[in-house]
Structures are given as structure tokens and as C-alpha cells.
Chains A and B, each alone.
Chain A
Amino acid sequence: MTMMHTLSPTADHATDTDDVARLITPDGERLADRELDPWVADVDAEALRGLYRDMTVVRRIDTEGVALQRQGQLGLWAPCQGQEATQVGTARAFRADDFVFPSYREIGVGFVRGAAPADFVLAWRGEAHSTYNPYDLNTATPQIIIGAQALHAVGYGMGITFDGTDQVAAAYFGDGATSQGDVNEAMVFASSFRAPVVFVCTNNQWAISEPVTVQAKFPIAGRAPGFGIPSLRVDGNDVLACLAAMRWATDHARTGNGPVFLEAVTYRMGPHTTSDDPTRYRDKDEVERWRRRDPLARVEALLRRRDEFSDEFARDVAAEADRWGAEVRAATLNARTKEPIEILDHVYAEPHVGLDAQRADFAAYLGSFSDAVAGGEAR
């Protein structure tokens, strides 16, 4: 089944961001959608509040990350404000034993997969490249090489088919990544081997300073069918639509129908990273237009229309978010920097004589400082 949303060639698909599958309007009105509705028939007000809560906590973690970077506690941070619905909505569709290959911006995916507070910050602080065991969260180490993880997801998915299980692998990447050979090769391999993979392209309109129109002259979701992969262009600020789309996608892949491609049309509200200055390349009006499509406000509006959003609930969620913020801060401030000699750990799985020699030399060098101190005392 191809669930491709309307993909008539658009003159300027960067601005034609309403050509998407959507279940909640920016004003909180619930739209009916024949194809998506069945996938979220079970999502009642309670479940919607759960999604709202997830997104609120993710936003809080993000805010804390930015603040910690500004205070010099983190070297860098890649904010995800504006993209909470894409991340939470899609990730909530996974089973725990599915395996996810994220990029560096998927804070919400990590949250849904069960990451601990320290997992969000220690890598950006420079304490370790990966702060969790990928097999504990069934989530790979965040990827910085643009697009590389798309192939990893496909290889993992091929392995799933070889093992004959019904898991799904997923790769998250941005609109810029779709220009990379790896992403295109990933679609070739996924299609050729009918790998149970969901590609999630978070089209947040920008790849650092380059608008999506530099990467693509046609909606990105329109590429996948050319590889034999069904695709859907979904409103990435609509958490319900993201959940529905991803449930459809994972079900499609899980039941032996091969890969699926989702393009979540959203917007990165902040800078690309804390080193970036978006005022150099995008105008305020654009940012304000997207602010009116805020993914959290949208769910709140829907719940309020139904009288399902109480002040008490808002207070609870805010308190929980603050708790997370505090824990993330504590994890940062309490970080233990490894011993110098540990820099040489884990390069190889088995002993390596070349590195062992360097380790011995470095250990002797490090040891020479304590000798010097001891010698000084003796004098």
C-alpha cells in the first residue's frame, strides 16, 4: 500500500508546508482522515495528555541543555525545539525491541526510548562519545556523520529478516541528509532486500544555513517511491499525525512489506546548534509563522476544546518537566571525567601490541608525576 500524501509537483515546496497529512490543526481542531484515523483510534484524552507530557519534558530537557551550554557546562548543544511532535510521535510507535539509529538532534526519541538524564548531556560535555549501552535502549549512539546511520538501520533490518523476527529498524535524519549518498544507497539496499526499515526524514526546513530548497526541488517524500518505497509526508508539528503515520509505517515494515519513508514537515525554532547564528540567514517572520504552529500548544488547544486540559494537569506536567531539568543539570554538574589513561580504552576489542606499547609509555609518563611529587617530598 502506498500512503503517499498528495505530491503534486509544487512550485515551492519549502513554503507549501501544508501539503501534509494532518489530524490536528494549529488551532486544535481535530480533522478526520480516513487513512490515518484507524491508527490512532485508541488514543483517548489520557493518551493525548501523555504525548503532551512527553513533549513538555523534552522541551524542558532541551531548554536546560541550551542553558547549560550558555553557562559553559556543555561544549555544544543541538536544540530540538519545534521538533518535539516529530520525535515523540514517531518514537511512541516503536516496540522496545525495535532498534533505532538516531542523529544528534533526536532528544525526544532518546527520551521515549528511556534515556537517563546523563545520557542527554555527557556526550555534549565531552565526557564520552556514547553515554549508554546501545543494547540497553535498543538505540544506537547518536550519529554526527550526516546520513551514515541510514545504512546502519538497513543493515540491521536485513539482519532482522535473516533472523526471521518481526522487529523494525528505524533511521532518523534531516532534510540535508537526503542529499547524501549514504541515504540514497540506504534506500536502494532497503528496497532490494525488503528490509523492515522506517526512514524518518525530519524536514526542519534548514541544514545549518541552507534551506531545504538547496537539497531538493520536489517534496522529499516524493523520492522514496522512485526507490520502490511507499512514503508519506506528514505534519511534523502534529504529534497525533506523527504517531499514526509511524504506526502505519512500523506495521507495514513489521508485516513483511519492506521499508517505508516518512517526511515529517516541521521547523527548527532555535539555532542549528548553540554555535550557530540563524539571524544571518532566516527572517523573523518565518520563525513567527512557525511559532503559531507550535506542537505543544496544538495538543493543549485540542484538549482544552474537549475540556480535558486542567490547570492541575498543567501544574503536574510542569513539575515533572522541572524535575527532569534539575536531574539533567545535576547529571552535568556531577559528571566524572575519566582518568587520563582511560583515553586508550576500548579502541580494540582484543589486545593490540601497538596500542599496548603506547599505553605502557603513557602510564609511565603519568606515573612520573607522582614520582616527582614523592621525590620532592623526600628532598
Chain B
Amino acid sequence: MTQLTMAKSINEGLRRAMADDPRVLVMGEDIGKLGGVFRITDGLLDEFGAKRVIDTPLAEAGIMGTAVGLAFRGFRPVVEIQFDGFVYPAFDQIVCQVAKLHYRTQGNVTMPITIRIPWAGGVGAAEHHSESPEAYFVHTSGLRVVAVSNPQDAYVMLRQAIASDDPVVYFEPKRLYHQKGEVDLDMDVADAPPMGVARVAREGEDVTLLTYGAQVATALDAATAAEDEGVSIEVIDLRSISPVDYRTVTASVRKTGRVVVTHEAAREAGVGAELIASVTEQCFHYLEAPPVRVTGFDIPYPPAKLEKHHLPDLDRILDAVDRVLDRPNSLTTAEAGS
């Protein structure tokens, strides 16, 4: 075990995946000499050379489309999208080509492409640098979509994503890049929990709190705070948001009977909507209260000085917990006031 930042653990994941398999290559903007704008690919160019660490022209559709061609030829490209908000020019290649080629070719052509996306907000960035586009990809059949929340998962799930014969959209919370955690780099990745399996990040009895990515930390803070008020929250880190591990999710909901979902992305047709619909289908008779979503607002990502109001914080989560527990909350206060 070593203490590593998430940035470093991802870097190690790339390095070891490339060392183990000569068909793995990384490609993206500025990933060579600079090591990427977040330095995630630091040192890889020196170690593996320019044929496997490819500084591409500045063209996201170009990066994704050539990755498709490389996959056709049997390579396993790991693509870095510089920032979440810049994945949209590549969207067509991802949803029409990367996601569908295995199906379209009746399984003859595989697309083992890993799409790494530095993701989401909370870092005071400029416009288009803090987006949470995961729902677009979750809605696309043929893709797997994962979001990591700690350095250990970041390392293991990256290795698993690269090893997968399916395309994986791999979201890296920028907010967590420099947080340290224990990482076992020498673990046998095959023995680790598969990337599709959710993790109970904290056990609890009264409310199930579902989340993923950087929001896991906020959810855990909320659980700690709730404990002071005598409320026991079970926090589930989904890890994979397509497919969702509903076995773990529904086991928790059947225990607690109450569900809160939190994510940074906007609410409408978001991942929370899907989670609650599925939980309601599968656990309706166990539910003690209507599930509640705590999400970003349905607005374009706000300017940095205001983003703290958009990002669901500990207090908004606790307010939702009060709602599912039928305790006084912002809605009852508003009603009483009117």
C-alpha cells in the first residue's frame, strides 16, 4: 500500500496497462511532453515513445474517430478528452461509432476504447470546464460508464476499463485529483471487485444515499453530520453508472426504505431520474417515503463564484434526508410560512 493522489494513481494505471500490453496506447491533446493539462500522462512519452503516447491535433471528433480506426486494427486506445465540456465535438463518433460498432458488426469488431474525461465542478474553472455530461453516455447502449471517487478505485477501475473489450467512458473528478489515499498498486486487478459493482461506502439503517464521483465525499460528510442528529445514512458509491449494480442498491433500499440520490449533473432526465425510477419499480413496497433527488439545477453550469450554490452540498443533502424521514425540512418550513 502507498499513499497516492488520484492523479498519480491514474498515471500509474496507464503506465502499468501500457507496460503489460503493447497494444494499449494513449492519445489526446497535450498529453505528450506536457503530460496533459492535469499531468495525468506525465512521463509516459519518455517511457513508451511517440507511437504509443500520441499528441493529436486539436480535434475531438478526429481523436475519437481515429481511435475507432485503431481499434479496428486491434489497438486498445485510451483517449484523453481535455475537459468534460470538450467531449461534445466527439459525441457523434462516440454514440454512433464507438458505442454501436460491436452491435452493427454482429460482434465481429470490438471497440476496446477507454475515454478518460476530467470531469465535473468545484474547482473554480472557466466556462465549459465543469460539466457533468454523464447522462448522455448512460443513455447510449453499447457504452459502459464509470465514475471514480478515490485513488484506489481510480487505479483499479482504469486497469479494468482498459482490459475490457467494451468501450468505457471513465469519469475522473477534477476536484479529487490531488486528494491522497491508500493504493495497492500491486494488487491483482483480476481479484479486485469488477468495475460494475457498487461499494457501500458507509453502512447505515435509516436512509440510503446513492451517489458517485466527487459527490461521494460530500455524501459521507452528510452521513457524519446526520449521525450527530441520530440519523443513520447508508452511502452507496455506485462506481458504475452504466450498468448500475441494482443488487447492491436494492438490498440497501429494502433495508432502509428511504432513498436520496445526489449528483452534480442537472436533474432533468439525469442519472438520478433513472435510479429512482428503477428503485421504485424494484422496491416500491419497501419504500416508506417518496425518493428525493438532490442535484445541480437545470441551468448551464454557473460562473465559478456561484458554483457553490449549484453543487449539492452537505446541507441540501441533509434537508433531503429530513424530507424522506418526514422531519421538518425546507418544504415544510416554506409551507408553514405561507
Interface residues of A (CB under 8 A from B): 99, 101, 128-130, 133-135, 140-141, 145, 148, 150-163, 169, 181-182, 185-186, 188-189, 192, 345-350, 352-355, 357
Is B73 a contact partner of A349 (Cβ separation < 8 A)? no
Pick from B51, B56, B112, B247: contact of A189, CB below 8 A. B56
Is B72 a contact partner of A152 (Cβ separation < 8 A)? yes
Pick from A99, A151, A354: contact of B68, CB below 8 A. A151
A306 to chain B, nearest CB (A): 43
Q: A-side binding surface: helix, strand, loop or mixed?
A: helix
When distances are taken between beta carbons in the complex, the residues of chain B under 8 Å from A345 are 106-107
Expressed in whole angstroms, the Cα–Cα distance for A352 and B51 within the complex equals 33
Is A151 a contact partner of B93 (Cβ separation < 8 A)? yes
Pick from B51, B102, B104, B142: contact of A162, CB below 8 A. B51
Pick from A128, A140, A148, A185: contact of B106, CB below 8 A. A128
Is A152 a contact partner of B69 (Cβ separation < 8 A)? yes
Is A152 a contact partner of B68 (Cβ separation < 8 A)? yes
Expressed in whole angstroms, the Cα–Cα distance for A157 and B75 within the complex equals 12
Known: A169-B69, A348-B102, A349-B165. A159 touches B59 (CB 8 A): no
Residue B96 is within 8 A (CB to CB) of chain A in the complex: yes
25 contacts between A and B (CB under 8 A): A130-B108, A133-B108, A134-B72, A140-B72, A141-B101, A141-B105, A148-B97, A151-B65, A155-B66, A155-B67, A155-B68, A155-B73, A156-B72, A158-B54, A161-B51, A162-B52, A181-B89, A182-B61, A188-B59, A189-B59, A348-B102, A348-B144, A348-B166, A349-B166, A353-B247
Q: Which residue of A lies closest to B72 (CB)?
A: A156
CB contacts under 8 Å to A, within B211-249, are: 242-247
When distances are taken between beta carbons in the complex, the residues of chain A under 8 Å from B64 are 151
When distances are taken between beta carbons in the complex, the residues of chain B under 8 Å from A346 are 102-103, 105-107
Residue B141 is within 8 A (CB to CB) of chain A in the complex: yes
Is B108 a contact partner of A134 (Cβ separation < 8 A)? yes
Known: A130-B104, A347-B102, A349-B102. A159 touches B166 (CB 8 A): no
Is B69 a contact partner of A148 (Cβ separation < 8 A)? no
Task: Please provide the 4 A-B residue pairs with the shortest distance between their CB atoms, ordered closest to farther.
Answer: A155-B69, A151-B65, A155-B66, A159-B73
When distances are taken between beta carbons in the complex, the residues of chain A under 8 Å from B70 are 155-156, 158-159
When distances are taken between beta carbons in the complex, the residues of chain B under 8 Å from A134 are 72, 105, 108-109
Q: Which residue of B lies closest to A187 (CB)?
A: B62
Interface residues of B (CB under 8 A from A): 25, 51-52, 54, 56-57, 59, 61-62, 64-75, 89, 92-93, 96-97, 101-110, 112, 141-142, 144, 164-166, 196, 242-247
When distances are taken between beta carbons in the complex, the residues of chain A under 8 Å from B66 are 151-152, 154-155, 158, 186, 189
Q: Which residue of B lies closest to A161 (CB)?
A: B51
A197 to chain B, nearest CB (A): 9
Expressed in whole angstroms, the Cα–Cα distance for A173 and B92 within the complex equals 17
12 more CB-based (< 8 A) A-B contacts, given A148-B93, A157-B69, A169-B69: A129-B104, A129-B106, A130-B108, A141-B104, A155-B73, A159-B70, A163-B73, A182-B61, A188-B59, A189-B66, A346-B103, A350-B165
Is A350 a contact partner of B164 (Cβ separation < 8 A)? yes
Expressed in whole angstroms, the Cα–Cα distance for A134 and B245 within the complex equals 34
Expressed in whole angstroms, the Cα–Cα distance for A151 and B141 within the complex equals 22
Q: Which residue of A lies closest to B56 (CB)?
A: A189
When distances are taken between beta carbons in the complex, the residues of chain B under 8 Å from A355 are 141, 243
Is A350 a contact partner of B166 (Cβ separation < 8 A)? yes
A41 to chain B, nearest CB (A): 33
Q: Which residue of A lies closest to B240 (CB)?
A: A353
Q: Which residue of A lies closest to B143 (CB)?
A: A348
Is A99 a contact partner of B244 (Cβ separation < 8 A)? no
Pick from A101, A152, A157, A353: contact of B196, CB below 8 A. A353
Expressed in whole angstroms, the Cα–Cα distance for A161 and B73 within the complex equals 11
Is A154 a contact partner of B166 (Cβ separation < 8 A)? no
Q: Which residue of B lies closest to A352 (CB)?
A: B243
When distances are taken between beta carbons in the complex, the residues of chain B under 8 Å from A182 are 61-62, 65, 92-93
Interface core residue of B54, B61, B66 (most chain A CB under 10 Å): B66
Interface core residue of B103, B104, B107 (most chain A CB under 10 Å): B104
Expressed in whole angstroms, the Cα–Cα distance for A148 and B90 within the complex equals 11
Is B73 a contact partner of A156 (Cβ separation < 8 A)? yes
Expressed in whole angstroms, the Cα–Cα distance for A349 and B89 within the complex equals 26
Expressed in whole angstroms, the Cα–Cα distance for A185 and B93 within the complex equals 12
A133 to chain B, nearest CB (A): 4
Is A133 a contact partner of B105 (Cβ separation < 8 A)? yes
